[in-house]
Amino acid sequence: MVDNRQHVKWFRESSPYIKAHRNKTFVIHLGGEAMGHENFHNIIDDILLLNSLGIRLVLAMGAKPQIDSAVTEAGQKSQTDNGVRITSPELLPVVQQTVGKLKIDLEAALSRGIVKTTQSGRDIFLASGNYIKAKPFGIRKGIDFHHTGTVRKINTDLIHQQLDMGAIVIVAPIGYSPSGEIFNIHSTEVAGEVATALLADKLILLVDGTGQMDHNGELISELAVSDIQASELKAYSPIAIAHKACLHSVERCHLISYKKDGALLEELFTRDGVGTQITRVSYEQIRSAASEDIPGILELIEPLEAEGTLVKRSRELIESEIDKFIVIERDGLIVSCAALYPFEDKGELACLATHPSYRNGNRGELLLKEIKKRARTSKMSAIFVLTTVTTHWFTERGFVEKDVQDLPHGRHSLYNYQRKSKYFEMPLKADSQ
Ligand SMILES: CC(C)(COP(=O)(O)OP(=O)(O)OC[C@H]1O[C@@H](n2cnc3c(N)ncnc32)[C@H](O)[C@@H]1OP(=O)(O)O)[C@@H](O)C(=O)NCCC(=O)NCCS
């Protein structure tokens, strides 16, 4: 007999995300590499599923490898400079033909997907058009890029109208000048510019790897835009595009693999995701606390101590334990804090708080991720929390209730039976983020 418990658990855990994503606008960059990959049809099915859940979708398509092949087949040569194709007048018809065919293939795949998946019978509306006003890339360092263009303006009203009607909007990497000239534009630029202009909630770039890697080749699951060194980024690379979009207006960008079946769903509907999420908290900093932060931390936690949500901590205690704290600072104000205390091979997450004016901005989640990261670095096997009123916040993020008798010995001896706090634990897998 098939064990459906895992499905039930996954479905329950994904329900808050289903609610959160409804009516949100996501721009997905579908590069030519993704469209040529064997996993493409699974991606299409997942895109249709997102559409059926009420997510407003814009697909910014690319066609680079397909254009490369078509150019070779036509016996022509394509030149690039710094990753930008030089679209000569001879090359333009090849580009037009290839992009046109690929767009039709994409529309066909989306149409076929509807029949194949559970959404059979549901009408789906695909829209595309002259959304991009372009200007020439120009002559740079003596090189004439001819019909290679760059985005001048996006017709956001038209895209929004079509999204309002429930359409999946397809944006090709082609723009038009007011004089009727046709321009070939880098598709990642199009994706970033469209997401920015639409004030999209998410820009999702499907990439070759699993996401953004650190210097040790490990996946970075979460990056604040302020952590990215813009000068080190390759122009038009997914991370550069994500960085720019976040700096401008997009709340979150995601880099996820186009090769992994289900990566889109895992990234959007599970707590930890599978790729790299880049968030916009540029003017905020998450960092280790220092002694100058003590007045700010006290101001933040004292009201919560007074109402009994947090255990009372004296200034002296915080002073002596300041190295256990991390904070989020915004314009010089401590808006969130948390602490990690080691007990045997586990760590207690304590004193987690966000200023009431700044709640529901994902700061608690960011602190939890940072605490998990630090706990893993210290080789801890789990983090735990003792809480009286915030039980659901922790269980919704993967903590599981345990008997207080199972607390690490050193913490159990300090347990305050009058507070009747509940004990929740989250195991840490060394290999996950
Ligand atoms: C819990 C707390 C730290 C979350 O901070 P935050 O910066 O708002 O965190 P996030 O933005 O990541 O999470 C917000 C989400 O948690 C939910 N949430 C807040 N408190 C909750 C609770 N007690 N139970 C369940 N969910 C809760 C919010 O409704 C919001 O959900 P939504 O995104 O579906 O709207 C903050 O509410 C707080 O400071 N609470 C008082 C102190 C406290 O209870 N600390 C824990 C002590 S152990």
- pLDDT tens for the chain, 433 residues long, are 567 888 888 888 788 788 889 999 999 999 999 999 999 999 999 999 999 999 999 999 999 999 999 999 999 998 999 889 999 999 999 999 999 999 999 999 998 865 555 555 567 899 999 999 999 999 998 999 999 999 999 999 999 999 999 999 999 999 999 999 999 999 999 999 999 999 999 999 999 988 888 888 889 888 888 788 887 889 999 999 999 999 888 989 999 999 999 999 999 998 778 899 998 765 567 899 999 999 999 999 999 999 989 999 999 999 999 999 999 987 567 889 999 999 999 999 999 999 987 888 789 999 999 999 999 999 999 999 999 989 999 999 999 999 999 999 999 999 999 999 999 999 997 544 4
The distance from CA 251 to its chain's CA centroid, rounded to whole angstroms, is: 9
Task: Say if residues 225 and 85 touch (Cβ distance below 8 Å).
Answer: no
Whether ligand 1 lies within 6 angstroms of the CB of 359 is answered as: yes
At 207, the amino acid letter reads V
What confidence score (pLDDT) does residue 11 get?
84
Residue range(s) defining the domain that contains residue 137? 5-279
Residue carrying the six token digits 């202009």: 197
Structural tokens at position 298: 């006290």
Which atom of ligand 1 is found nearest the CA of 386? 48
- Asked whether the CA dihedral 271, 275, 281, 283 is positive or negative, the reply is positive
Shortest-distance Cα residue to atom 32 of ligand 1? 360
Among 277, 360, 421, which residue has the most ligand 1 atoms within 8 Å of its CB, making it the best to mutate?
360
What is the pLDDT, as a whole number, of residue 281? 64
Cα→Cα distances 222→257, 278, 296, Å: 15, 6, 26
Residue 171 is assigned to a structural domain of this protein:
yes
- Look at residues 279, 305, 337 and tell me which one is the last residue of a structural domain: 279
Phi-psi region of 238 (alpha: psi -120 to 50; beta: other; left: phi over 0): alpha
> Rounded CA gap, 349 and 397, in Å?
13
Q: What Å distances lie between residue 249 and 195, 244, 245, 298, CA to CA?
A: 8, 9, 6, 33
Output the CA torsion sign for 399, 293, 329, 303: positive
Atom in ligand 1 nearest the alpha carbon of residue 390: 23
Q: Please identify, among 279, 297, 321, the residue that sits at the C-terminal boundary of a domain.
A: 279
Q: Are 229 and 349 within one domain?
A: no
- CB-count burial class (<10 Å; 0-12, 13-18, 19+) for 67: buried
The domain total for the chain is 2
Handedness of CA 83, 89, 94, 99 (dihedral sign): positive
Which of the 8 DSSP states describes residue 233?
S
In a shared domain, residues 303 and 380? yes
Q: Are residues 236 and 107 in the same domain?
A: yes
CATH number at residue 275: 3.40.1160.10
SS3 readout for 388-410: CCCHHHHHCCCCEEECHHHCCHH
In a domain, 433, yes or no: no
Question: Looking at the structure, do residues 206 and 296 belong to the same domain, yes or no?
Answer: no
Task: Report the length, in residues, of the chain.
Answer: 433
Which residue puts its alpha carbon closest to atom 5 of ligand 1? Answer: 364
Domain boundary among 279, 309, 327: 279
* DSSP states along 79-105: -EETTEE-B-TTTHHHHHHHHHHHHHH
| The ligand 1 atom nearest the CA atom of 389 | 23
